[in-house]
Amino acid sequence: MSDNAKLRAIPAIEKLLQSLGQIDMPRPALVAVVRREVAALRKEPAIPSYDEVLARVRKSVDQLRAQRIQPVLNGTGIIIHTNLGRSPLSSAVLETLQSIGGDYNNLEYDLVAGERGGRAGYLEHNLAILCGAEAATVTNNCAAALVLALRHFTSGERKEVIISRGELVQIGGGFRIPEVLEASGCTLREIGATNKTSLADYRRAISKNTAIILKVHRSNFFMCGFIESPSTEELSELARSKRLPFIEDLGSGAIVETADIPGAEHEPTPAEVLKRGVDLVTFSGDKLFGGPQAGIIVGKAKMVAALKREPFFRALRCDKLILSALQTAVDCYLHGAPTMANVIDLMLRASKEELETRAKSIITNLGGVPAKITIGLGKAQVGGGTLPKAVIESVTIDVIPKNISLADFAARLRSGPMPLIGYVSANRFKIDLRTILKSRDVDVIRALQQALVK
């Protein structure tokens, strides 16, 4: 093709935009995608047909649109799903977001004195009470809380953080504890072996360079067999006798007992860890807590105050939305209404009978769709790097579509107006109802109908 002929064969941007039809995306964004696809054509030896070009543009647009954050139905059975936004917020918290976000508020204003005031005083007060702590504060996320604490305690001459090799864990998204620790500028003093670290290992490692003893809760895996690690009480006694701060990163941290959930084990609460003598505990505001993502720091008043004085704290502080949302979640707990604070807790505790009733109703409502649909069994997991042993019996909707493959069916469900994500097992597509709110059952029905009767 001559260069001129080639140029003439390139479709006009405007024509492509018209052919795309109505697309729910701002026009400048759409134009940019079309331009990019058209520009790419110039590099090709021959210009493909108009329909082919249009198909490429459409694919690009779809790919971009799929990256827009939107609600999805989580049928995976993984309750705190890191890829799917971790913990959904309760309606009490959502009401707070609505009222605080949509108007002015007293974020940094003292209503009694009528002048500039502190931030999050009420939240910090109540959070401390909830955790049985002297004081509390909040950062953007738990990783930030950890970095803040480590930076603070290793900013002087003493740089070493003592940590067991059994706790150098990786949590989701390539977040490795050793890398975070080093990002804070400290030096790791790894001790013990993966499976065994003794109190003597800690004692031997302490020197004039030691800044802190750090314990990281093995939140997303468990070890059994030939293992050893000193108790928190022993470590705190050692830390106290050497005048070293003792910090524990709990990761999740539960407020209510999880061991009474069938299939789940006990998850340490910040209060019990503090009682065992830890000076500072860090944990996430979402995960099992069920609030917005945030990094909660609770413990000794002096230490919390020192962290808040760090200039770096300014870079990690939360905005009004997070602080007010967390404030509501904390108050719900203190009012003795944990399920008001926490959708995760509600999902964890839903009975099988309840889920079965919903499954039956969904299947009845589906009517004559071209598929074999049955009620199946599921094994839900807590996810989010918490309660790794827990396997919680669940109920699934099992679908074997008649006219399309399981992979195509799954892709259709993902591309619908309310994307539904499930999993394939034993040659069927399974949708776990434990991770779908009852109020969303109508969306499940609609999504299945759309994907099956296309």
**Measured in Å, how far apart are the chain's first and last C-alpha atoms?**
40
Name the burial class of residue 306, with classes exposed (0-12), middle (13-18) and buried (19+) by CB atoms within 10 angstroms of its CB: middle
Strand partners, 375: 397
Nearer to ligand PLP, 295 or 422 (CB): 295
Say which residues have a Cβ less than 8 Å from residue 107's Cβ, sequence separation at least 6. 119, 320, 323
CA 357, 358, 363, 365 torsion-angle sign: positive
Instruction: Annotate each residue in 139-168 with x if it binds ligand PLP (CB under 6 A) or - if it does not, as one string.
Output: --xxx-------------------------
At residue 260, the 3 state secondary structure works out as: coil
Minimum distance of ligand PLP from residue 254's CB (angstroms) = 12
CA–CA distance, 4 with 23 (Å, rounded to integer): 32
Instruction: Please report whether residue 171 would count as binding ligand PLP according to CB under 6 A.
Output: yes
Residue matched to tokens 């589906």: 366
Q: How far is the CB of 276 from ligand PLP (least distance, A)?
A: 17
**Residues binding ligand PLP: what is the number (CB under 6 A)?**
14
Which residue from 335, 319, 238, 225 is spatially nearest to 277, judged by alpha carbons? Answer: 238
Q: To which residue do tokens 């919680």 refer? A: 392
Choose which of 81, 217, 412, 440 interacts with ligand PLP (CB under 6 A): 217
State yes or no: residue 216 binds ligand PLP (CB under 6 A). yes
| Buried-state track 346-380, b at ≥16 Cβ within 10 A, e below 16 | bbbbbebeebeebbeebbeebeebebebebbebeb
We find the least distance from the C-beta atom of residue 443 to ligand PLP, in angstroms, to be: 28
Specify the amino acid at residue 397. Answer: I
Site pattern 248..287 for ligand PLP (x: CB under 6 A): -x-xx-------------------------------x---
Residue range at the interface with ligand PLP (CB under 6 A); choices 57-65, 244-252, 405-413, 445-453: 244-252
For residue 362, what are the contacts with CB-CB under 8 A and spacing of at least 6? 397, 433, 441, 444, 445
What binding mask, one character per residue, do residues 33-52 give for ligand PLP by CB under 6 A, x or -?
--------------------
Cα gap 332→184, rounded to integer Å = 34
Q: Which of residues 360-379 bind ligand PLP (CB under 6 A)?
A: none
**Based on CB atoms, which residue is closest to ligand PLP, 293 or 394?**
293
- Closest alpha carbon to 323 in 137, 448, 146: 137
Joined together, the tokens standing for residue 359 give: 């499954």
Taking CB under 6 A as the binding criterion, the range among 103-111, 213-221, 332-340, 345-353 that sits at the site for ligand PLP is: 213-221
Does 420 bind ligand PLP (CB under 6 A)? Our answer is: no
Q: Where are the beta strands (DSSP E) in 33-96?
A: 73-74, 78-80
Question: Which residues have C-beta within 8 Å of that of residue 200, sequence separation ≥ 6?
Answer: none
Helix, strand, coil % (nearest 5) of the chain? 45, 20, 35
Binding pattern for the stretch 286-315 against ligand PLP, x by CB under 6 A and - elsewhere: -------x-x--------------------
Q: Which is nearer to ligand PLP, 295 or 376 (CB)?
A: 295
CB-CB contact of 392 with 386 (8 Å): no
Closest separation in Å from C-beta 141 to ligand PLP = 3
Q: Decide whether 318 or 413 has the Cβ nearer to ligand PLP.
A: 318
428 touches ligand PLP (CB under 6 A) = no
Q: How far is the CB of 388 from ligand PLP (least distance, A)?
A: 10
Residues 52-91 that bind ligand PLP (CB under 6 A): none
Task: For ligand PLP, give the closer residue by CB, 232 or 284.
Answer: 284
Which stretch, 59-67, 214-222, 237-245, 330-338, contacts ligand PLP (CB under 6 A)?
214-222
Options 75, 338, 383, 385; binder of ligand PLP; rule CB under 6 A: 385
Q: Kindly state the smallest distance separating residue 86's Cβ from ligand PLP, in Å.
A: 8
Residue 316 found at the interface with ligand PLP (CB under 6 A)? no
What is the contact surface with ligand PLP in residues (CB under 6 A)? 141-143, 171, 216-217, 219, 249, 251-252, 284, 293, 295, 385
